[in-house]
Amino acid sequence: MINKFIDKNMMVIDVGNTNTVIAVINDKGIDKKWRLATLLNRTSDEYTIIFDSFLEGAFDRNDITNIIISSVVPSVVYELKNCIHNYFNISAKIIGTDIFPDIDILLDRPDEVGADRLVNSLAAFKLYGGNKIIVDFGTATTFDVVNDKGCYLGGVIAPGVLLSMDALDKATARLPRISISTPTKVIGDSTVSAMKSGVYWGYIGLMEGIVSKIKLEYGKDMDVIATGGLASLFNADTDQINIIDDDLTLKGIALTWNSKLSVFNR
């Protein structure tokens, strides 16, 4: 049964370092989803225009019952929250300030863990069970570990794919900027194909190596859940990924509001 908190429509907002994803969740699950660039200087009025554009023809602003924000960019939150208050007449809840994921964090400094990593871990446990490694191919590539009781054990943070590509572009005078894609072979026969091979196979090697080390240290069988825009791309050439859930973070934000939400488990 759908929880009373989303008897109409709940909006969840994931503010990442590169992109911000906005979704409306109701008894259909994730009903609508929009993506925009995360800009530090975007004003409340600009967010108003964005919400007008996104909701047009899909939802009336009065249809939205609750709004939950997860942000790893604190400077964005003030203008976004101010817009939400004026536009929807709703006081948005901020994860880590107003509400907290229902997950035990077995670290000395739990306050250091980003909201995105915690909501990913919560969603992974609630939807798929324990003993999981969550790999998020975002601005950073993160690896988070949840044990069989759903406790957060920690993880690994590595530079993301796009960050590495930016570094190649900016730090080398003669190497061109490239896009990420699946190379046709490992040995590149041009500068561009060599770079694409290095990025693609390099990150598969990084992912497989770290996952193997985590499993060895943990000492138990573990499933790997991958999320983020590049998860499906890398999945074609590795057998380490068991589950791909592109919407894991959005689901985790909703589950932070109500950890017994059943709309994703039908």
Catalytic residue among 116, 136, 144, 245: 116
The per-residue pLDDT for 226 is 97
**Residue-level pLDDT at 168:** 73
Residue 82 pLDDT > 70? yes
pLDDT at 177: 74
Residue 116 a catalytic site member: yes
Q: Of 3.10.180.10, 1.10.8.60, 3.40.50.300, 3.30.420.40, which CATH number belongs to 110-252?
A: 3.30.420.40
The residues of the chain that CATH labels 3.30.420.40 are 4-99, 110-252
Whether 196 contacts 188, CB under 8 Å: yes
Total-model pTM: 0.90
What's the CATH number for 4-99? 3.30.420.40
Percent of the chain with pLDDT over 90: 71
What tens digit of pLDDT does each residue of 8-60 get? 799 999 999 989 999 999 988 899 999 999 999 999 999 999 999 999 989 99
> Chain-centre distance of CA 154, in angstroms?
16
Render pLDDT for 114-126 as a digit per residue (tens, 0 to 9): 999 999 999 999 9
pLDDT value for 66: 93
Distance between CA atoms of 158 and 226, rounded to whole angstroms? Answer: 15
The pLDDT value recorded for residue 173 is 63
CA distances from 241 to 80, 122, 173 (A): 35, 18, 36
CA distance 30 to 35: 14
Neighbours of 206 (CB within 10 A): 17
- The 10s digit of each residue's pLDDT in 150-174 is 999 999 999 888 877 777 767 776 6
- Provide the pairing of β-strand 29-37 with 19-26: antiparallel
